[in-house]
Amino acid sequence: MDKETKEKFKQNIFIVVLGVTLFAVLMNLKSVGQAAASVMGLFMPLIVGGIIAFILNVPMNFFERKIEMLQGKYPNRFLAKSKSGLGLIVTLLLVVAAVIFVGNVIFPNMADSIRSIAQIVSDNYQSWINTAESYGLEMEAVRHWIENFDWNSLVTQLKENSGDILSTATQAATSVFGVVANLGFGLIFAIYILLNKRKLGLQTRKIAYAYLKKSWADEACDIASLSYKTFSGFLSGQCLEAVILGMLFFVTLLIGGFPYAASISVIIGCMSIIPFVGAFIGLAFGALMLAVVSLEKAAAFVVIFFIIQQIEGHIIYPKVVGNSVGLPALWTLLAVVIGGKVSGIFGIILFIPLFSVIYALVRRSVYSRLNKKNMVIR
């Protein structure tokens, strides 16, 4: 049996084994899911730490580059040795500052907006219902809901929780991961990973080249590099775009004299992190908030929204996110739909860069095979 025949035989065996394994998994999906959940439970602190480290590594890399530039202008042994530590410290301080800002500025502002809207609804809902009924609309159910909804309780709860964002975040983490220790150990793992990321990366490459064929190890490292570049570029781009978009809406609404400018801008900024549909969710919330005050303001806001969306789509997004995703619109929509079905908002955010990696790998494989056949398909 020659070498080429052996390789084809191995490939066929691999395909058969993969097919049988996939069939067995599909036939015992519930048991496999339970087993996977048990294994993930054991390694949850490490998984949480990896997720935290990946997210924090994006701003940390930025600060490390700035420290390198500073060290290049002003050579200093301390800066050279402490680049990772200083980058991590600045990143953690930035996170703490963001949490404090949200807890002490954003949440109270949102609570004030809700209180104001509640007061306007309370003062005017009767006239709105009478107007609607004069056009023959049945509004009894709406009247009953408004009269029995406890607006003050909603505002009070939001006010009470706004100053305790860290406690709220901890409780959320506890409900998600089951045990507070997972988050605590996850943070420890994250800090260790970030401080030793270059050493860990080198060790991983050594293991790959030690136990795999060189061609397989090259491919694995290439896929890992592509995945990291795509996911980190998408994450940083989406977050930066959300901040820019929120600020752009805030300045525009403030100049235009719109009420609730800060609250609407925060909602749009946060929602725009969700690709494709997030900004339109923010549009719905903003228009509804303004419609309570003035239908003319709400209509003007919708017009402003679509103007800013055009600016965002043609100028901001290409500059900020650029080609970090590199996914055609049809595949992006498919990723959004499938991701949303699988894991909701988290799935939408995750599946776009995941599809981008798969698309890039398939595209590369197709062109490689065509080149080997000396074929050009037009």
Q: Could you report the per-residue pLDDT of 169-223, keeping only the tens digit for each?
A: 555 444 544 556 777 788 888 888 888 888 888 998 999 899 888 888 888 888 8
CA distance 235 to 327: 15
Give residue 75's pLDDT.
Answer: 77
Q: Within 10 Å of residue 269's Cβ, how many Cβ atoms?
A: 23
Identify whether the C-beta of residue 212 lies closer than 8 Å to the C-beta of residue 220: yes
The overall average pLDDT reported for the chain is: 77
Could you report the per-residue pLDDT of 15-27, keeping only the tens digit for each? 777 777 777 766 7
Per-residue pLDDT reduced to its tens digit, 107-128: 787 777 777 777 777 777 667 6
| Tens of pLDDT, residues 33-66 | 677 667 666 777 788 888 888 888 888 888 888 8
Residue 63 half-sphere exposure, CB side, CA atoms within 13 Å? 20
DSSP 57-124: HHHHHHHHHHHHHHHHHS--HHHHHSHHHHHHHHHHHHHHHHHHHIIIIIHHHHHHHHHHHHHHHHHH
List C-alpha distances in Å: 280 to 108, 231, 251.
Answer: 24, 23, 19
- Contact assessment for residue 276 and residue 336, using Cβ atoms and an 8 Å cutoff: yes
State yes or no: pLDDT of 285 exceeds 60: yes
Is residue 133 very low, low, confident or very high in pLDDT (cuts 50, 70, 90)? low
Residue identified by tokens 């959320």 is 172
Helix axes 329-372, 214-255, angle to 10 degrees: 150
Confidence (pTM): 0.66
- The number of CA neighbours under 13 Å toward the Cβ of 105 is 8
Q: Is 47 exposed, middle or buried (0-12, 13-18, 19+ CB in 10 A)?
A: middle
**154-168: average pLDDT:** 55
Amino acid, single-letter form, for residue 191: I
Widest CA span of the chain, in angstroms?
A: 89
pLDDT of residue 156: 61
What phi, psi does 304 have (nearest 5°)?
-60, -40
Residue 58 and residue 194: Cα distance in Å, rounded? 11
Check: CB of residue 279 under 8 Å from CB of residue 245: yes
Going by C-alpha positions, the residue among 338, 343, 349, 316 that lies closest to residue 243 is: 316
Distance of CA 5 to CAs 2, 11, 19, 92, Å? 5, 10, 21, 56
